[in-house]
Amino acid sequence: MITKLFHNKPFRWLKALIIIVLWVLLTSFLLIYYGLIWHIAFLDSLVHSGLLIGGFILLENIFRYYLPTQGNVILAYIIPLILSIFVLFGGDQLLQTIFKHEIEYQDFLEHIFLARGFVLLLLFMACSLLLNYHGRLEEQAEAVERETQIQQMAREAELYHLRQQLQPHFLFNSLNSISALVKSQPEKAREMVLQLSDFLRATIRKDEKKWISVTEEVSFLKLFLDIEKVRFGHRLQVQIELDDHTKNYNLPQLLIQPLLENAVKHSLYGLTGEVFISLQIVASSQGLIVKITNPFDPRAGQPKGSGFGLEAVKRRLFLVFGRYDLLKTQQTDKQYSIQLLIPQNHDQDYNHR
């Protein structure tokens, strides 16, 4: 605290110097008021002020590296007491040596000895308590910062784990489909392998870029849909409606793909014939809105593993934005829809370094 006055900014030196000069002048005038001649009063004030400032700096350096605990809190009082005694006797001995022929001044020193000692003790005690209080605040601030960093690292680790889970989840499904096509339709199996390779290459290349543009995300979705269309042929029809105003919007990578995969499963599981899925991406004052609508037959039940992608997206949204209300689902007898809100006024770099 005290030594900070003498560091960093050049004007702090000037401020500290002004404070010291004013203090010396004030105490000098006070001593002159009590009968001392000006040069003795000035030197008296200068000596004791210098020792006082030295004591303050010593206290700060002591409590910077060592803060008394509850078991030895008495040190916060003993150290100022020792400093007060040292400054009191040291200053008096020095001044008595300098002005050894000034009998009246010698008497003055004896007269104010106890009063000066009491004032020094109060000043050092106040400084000690202030430094201890400031040290406790700094410790608490550092503890909060460490806790924040730990939580941030935990969030980033969980986000990374979720992202790593999503790709194998999709990869396993694709490999199962390729395996089924190898004997019956080898050309389609080959086509699907190439498309899967393109998709994985694109996602791996962008892995370090945690937030991507809407255009990039849509390109991933089209690669994904090409793979799904090889699996399901003409049965799968997906219409993507992209608002032109979304070009400058960003979102976490592969956030929509698990939802679209979930919609494909809901649509094709238990239904025959052609299915139509709608994907709308629009800009709003609240952020980016993504809406996926697909046909749904509740009597067919849930396809195996269909809940993983949805839960993973919910968890990612909470880890990134700290909110549970960004993903909403709606189900009727024949239709299932998901609406996703992605705020844009978020520090994208902070949460995804």
pLDDT tens readout for residues 245-285: 888 899 988 889 889 988 888 787 766 788 899 999 999 98
Q: Which residue in the block uniquely carries the two structure tokens 């770099």?
A: 349
Kindly report the three-state secondary structure assignment for every residue of the chain: CCHHHHCCCHHHHHHHHHHHHHHHHHHHHHHHHCCCCHHHHHHHHHHHHHHHHHHHHHHHHHHHHCCCCHHHCCHHHHHHHHHHHHHHHHHHHHHHHHCCCCHHHHHHHHHCHHHHHHHHHHHHHHHHHHHHHHHHHHHHHHHHHHHHHHHHHHHHHHHHHHHHHHHHHHHHHHHHHHHHHHHHCHHHHHHHHHHHHHHHHHHHHCCCCCEEEHHHHHHHHHHHHHHHHHHHHHHEEEEEEECHHHHHCEEECCCCHHHHHHHHHHHHCCCCCCEEEEEEEEECCCCEEEEEEEECCHHHCCCCCCHHHHHHHHHHHHHHHCCCCCEEEEECCCEEEEEEEECCCCCCCHHHC
Q: Is the dihedral of CA 170, 171, 172, 175 positive or negative?
A: positive
pLDDT top residue among 329 and 78: 329
Tokens of 89: 């006797």
pLDDT above 70: residue 2: no
Checking if the pLDDT of 133 tops 80, the result is: yes
Residue range 306-327: mean pLDDT, rounded: 81
The percentage of the chain sitting over the pLDDT mark of 70, rounded to a whole number, equals 74
- Residue 142: pLDDT above 90? no
Q: How far apart are CA 279 and CA 282, in angstroms?
A: 10
Task: For residues 81 and 91, give the distance between their C-alpha atoms in angstroms, rounded to a whole number.
Answer: 15
Q: How many residues does the chain have?
A: 353
Q: Tokens 């799904």 sit at which residue? A: 228
0.75 exceeded by pTM: no
The pLDDT of residue 328 is 92
CA trace torsion 56, 61, 67, 72 (10° rounding): -70
Q: What φ, ψ does residue 302 adopt, rounded to 5°?
A: -95, 135
Domain ranges of the chain: 3-146, 185-352
Q: Which CATH superfamily is domain 185-352 in?
A: Histidine kinase-like ATPase, C-terminal domain (3.30.565.10)
Would you give the end-to-end CA distance of the chain in angstroms? 34
Range in 208-217, 278-287, 333-342 with the lowest mean pLDDT: 208-217
CB 327 within 8 A of CB 316: no
Mean pLDDT value across residues 289-313: 74
Written as six digits, the tokens of 284 are 């709003």
What would the pLDDT profile of 179-190 be if each residue is shown by its tens digit? 877 888 888 888
Quick: pLDDT tens for 35-60.
667 777 777 777 777 788 888 888 88
Q: What is the CA radius of gyration of the chain?
A: 37
At 161 the pLDDT is 61
- Average pLDDT in the chain: 77
Q: What is the pLDDT of residue 351?
A: 46
Question: What residues form DSSP beta bridges with 290?
Answer: 281, 340
Q: Which of these, 339, 312, 352, 330, lies nearest to 170 by C-alpha position?
A: 312
Residue type, 45: S
Q: How confident is the model at residue 352 (pLDDT cuts 50, 70, 90)?
A: very low
For residue 249, the model assigns a pLDDT of 92
Query: pLDDT tens digits for 151-180?
Result: 766 666 665 565 555 556 667 777 877 887
Q: How many CB atoms lie within 10 A of CB 293?
A: 19
* Angle at alpha carbon of residue 49, lines to 43 and 50, rounded to 5°: 90
